[in-house]
Structure 1
Amino acid sequence: MESPVYIQIHNQLKRDIEGGKWKVGDRIPAERELAIQFDVSRMTLRQAIQTLVDEGILERRVGSGTYVANQKVQEVASGVTSFTDIMRRQGKKPSSKTISYHFATPSLSEIEKLHLSGDTPEVLRMERIRYADGVPISFEVASIPADIVQGLTKAEVTDSFYHALETKGGYELGGAQQTVSAETASERIAEYLDIKRGEAILKMRQITFLQDGRPFEYVRTQYAGERFEFYLER
């Protein structure tokens, strides 16, 4: 299965960065220039760039351009807690709206984060808006190895994935690695979260592991800054 064009561009740009074409802090060419270079529409090019921004590889600077990101301070979480459980503990009713749900050839970042190997393994890639009492809290893009969700229905994966993994899949969940940073909302995210473009959001990238250490989920989540906060317990 051939990857979507924006994933192919994502992969090439990631190779260029890793190969030293652009170093940390360097400004990459403008979207218009890159769109011409790859012979694609600005919309397709922007989707590839946004994916790299969501992964923390690139960062946008308002009024300046897009740059190779500096490495951020990372916090390692000691356990795994689902959005559903977090909301219920706070007395709120969790719900979600699935924007997309499909199996695809993994990007280089997905292969790296999920430790995939073999002949072009597939991943389930899904986009969801998560709500608490009907109010949009976050937008997330989750990537999961296809073999992990074998035997699970779409409803089980989208409604309460961790619960289904444990009760039906027979897996034991382990810990997670989380990276949290600040960002401003793009037009698309602002629409999904019912906030204004440019408002503050919290961006989290999380790799979640099974008890045996295998990564089974790579999630990029953007939270409405005024509706969600993180705290750490030591």
Structure 2
Amino acid sequence: MAIDKNDFIYMKIYNDIYEKIKSNVLKPGGRIQPENVLKEQYNVSRDSIRKALQKLENDGLISRRAGAGTYVTSKIADYSLANQESFTEQMKKIGKIPSSEILSIEILSDYEAEIGEMLDLVPGEKLYRVCRVRKADGDPMALEIVYVSQKLVPNLHTLLYEDTSLYKLYEDYYNLKMKDMEVHIEAELADKDVQKKLRLKENTPILKISGVMQLEDQRPHYYFVCYHIGHKYSFSVRLPRKRAS
């Protein structure tokens, strides 16, 4: 397969292999072809192949084993925006073991007015702020910050552990009936705080997703901000055609 040899040749190779991993053409544990074979396949220099493989390795998608070759290490998490799925459900669906590193659980009475308005809180009403690193097979995937009224989830700090699903607590323990959420998605570069918490290099792209979950009785449930490591996720949604009248 010939590739335009102008700018960013190695990124085109990277993107092609990335898509094959994402679509499961290249499966976790599967071997990547040797450099000399890839060089002929893409009709490019060995240097371009090495740069593409190095970026894939830096992104945690492949690993090189001395004397044994190069192998796929990860399946990209494909998250449908048309359905509500917890992180635990997402990871189990692609065969990974979900876990969390709890960075902090705080009870706040002083917070941004905008958060209070989104959650329909009276001034000074207490809420929980939960900050966690979400992991798959022990590797960081996302930084999640959740704000939820203490009245809705009393004693949350005594129930939340590193292997606990917040969704299961909400639904099974607190008997809260979640309905839907409106989300906002932004692509940006990780700031220093996110870099540190997710162990990212400078200028790593992330997807920032935020929104408010609504309960069936129309009360706001929680507000969240989640920073997803860009190369570890893909997001999909089915969009119906709306014809002009």
Alignment of 1:53-202 (within 5 A): 79-105=83-109, 106-117=111-122, 119-152=123-156, 154-156=158-160, 159-202=164-207
Whole-angstrom CA distance in 1 between matches of 2:176 and 2:193 = 35
Name the TM-score, length of structure 1 as normaliser.
0.63
Count of paired positions: 157
Output one character per residue of 1:61-109: Cα deviation in whole Å (capped at 9) or x when no partner. xxxxxxxxxxxxxxxx655321111111111111011111010013202
AA aligned to 1:160 is S
- The question of whether the paired residues in 2 share the 8 Å contact of 1:151 and 1:169 is answered with no
Alignment-derived partner of residue 222 in structure 2? 217
AA aligned to 1:163 is K
Structure 1 runs not aligned, ≥5 long: 1-76
Alignment-derived partner of residue 230 in structure 1? 235
Alignment-derived partner of residue 206 in structure 1? 211
* 3-state SS of paired residue (1:112): helix
Output one character per residue of 1:31-72: Cα deviation in whole Å (capped at 9) or x when no partner. xxxxxxxxxxxxxxxxxxxxxxxxxxxxxxxxxxxxxxxxxx
What is the CA distance between 1:194 and its match in structure 2? 2.1
- The question of whether the paired residues in 1 share the 8 Å contact of 2:103 and 2:131 is answered with yes
Runs of at least 4 residues off by over 4 Å: none
Name the TM-score, length of structure 2 as normaliser.
0.60
Whole-angstrom CA distance in 2 between matches of 1:122 and 1:100 = 16
Question: Aligned in 2, Cα 1:207/1:225: closer, same or farther, shift over 3 Å?
Answer: same
What is the CA distance between 1:154 and its match in structure 2? 3.5
Greater mean deviation of Cα atoms: 191-200 or 93-102:
191-200
What is the CA distance between 1:120 and its match in structure 2? 1.4
- The question of whether the paired residues in 2 share the 8 Å contact of 1:79 and 1:175 is answered with no
CA RMSD after TM alignment: 1.8
AA aligned to 1:166 is E
Whole-angstrom CA distance in 2 between matches of 1:154 and 1:228 = 31
What is the CA distance between 1:155 and its match in structure 2? 3.5
Instruction: Give identity over the alignment, percent.
Output: 26
What is the CA distance between 1:156 and its match in structure 2? 3.7
Whole-angstrom CA distance in 1 between matches of 2:99 and 2:202 = 24
Whole-angstrom CA distance in 2 between matches of 1:194 and 1:205 = 21
AA aligned to 2:185 is V
Whole-angstrom CA distance in 2 between matches of 1:142 and 1:181 = 17
Question: Aligned in 2, Cα 1:88/1:172: closer, same or farther, shift over 3 Å?
Answer: same
